[in-house]
Structure 1
């Protein structure tokens, strides 16, 4: 067996934290460790620890990341729709504004807590900002 095969097996420890399952749990606003406990106790407040597994969550440094990601996604999803609606159908300006303002607001309110969960889960999976100290 080559040295590369042995180092790959040695590098995979039971202590690894898979990123994708953690991100999915974060999007569901669940604990990135167990996937059962709630990560948020209000709209955007992160719990200090998971009620199910005891994982500490207060280490997170989400800051403005979820807001930037929300603006990026909402803009990229709604702008093409706005363009197509304007070019194809030419609705009244007030109608166009009302539909897309409501759409942007609704999509932003839906995505913001979920993207905060994703950012916290990513930090947990990559052992950033103190998440590497505890299991």
Structure 2
């Protein structure tokens, strides 16, 4: 039986944390549900519940205060994606209003719910990167945001 390599929790054995140089990189990490600081740890422990601390870089995420803004952002994006489809279907004389509703309503519901977590991740990343709500701003080389 091959021997299993012993797992070490020694920080010296871990690869270095690469902090994002830009707000956009931090937001991209948040959108995919990764820690905006290190890009490797999970940001969410449940659908919309962020972890208290990153398991990789130990960043405290309990300071975030996204509140209702992710829902507003999700609906704003959904509306801008669904509105052209609704206008197109309304102009098409060969489709009934019931059929148009049967197409538009499920798409709207799936988009609105599906965009909630990415929007929340991006908003948490913005709060962290800009030093809002108790987060301490971490300047880095190539910093593109003002203090």
Do the aligned residues in 1 keep the contact of 2:129 with 2:138 (CA within 8 Å)?
no
**TM-score normalised per structure 2:** 0.76
- Residues 38 and 113 of structure 1, relative CA distance in 2, 3 Å threshold: same
1:87-127 deviation digits (Å, cap 9, x = unpaired): 03541222111111100011111100100000000000001
* TM-score when normalising by structure 1: 0.83
| Kept in 2: contact 1:66–1:115 (CA 8 A) | yes
Unpaired runs of at least 5, structure 1:
1-14
Structure 2 gap ranges (5+): 1-18, 140-147
What is the aligned length? 121
- Give distance in 2, aligned partners of 1:37 and 1:131: 18
CA RMSD of aligned residues (A): 1.9
Look up the match of 1:5.
Answer: none
Q: Per chain length, whose mean CA-contact separation is higher, i.e. which structure has more relative contact order (CA < 8 Å, sep 6+)?
A: 1
Residue number among 81, 97, 114 corresponding to 1:93 in the alignment: 97
**Partner Cα distance (2:64, 2:21) in 1:** 16
Partner of 2:42: 38
CA deviation after TM superposition for structure 1 residue 17, in Å: 5.5
Which among 18, 21, 27 is matched to residue 23 of structure 1? 27
**Is residue 108 of structure 2 the alignment partner of residue 108 of structure 1?**
no
For 1:57, the equivalent position in structure 2 comes to 61
| Matching residue within 64, 70, 73 for 1:69 | 73
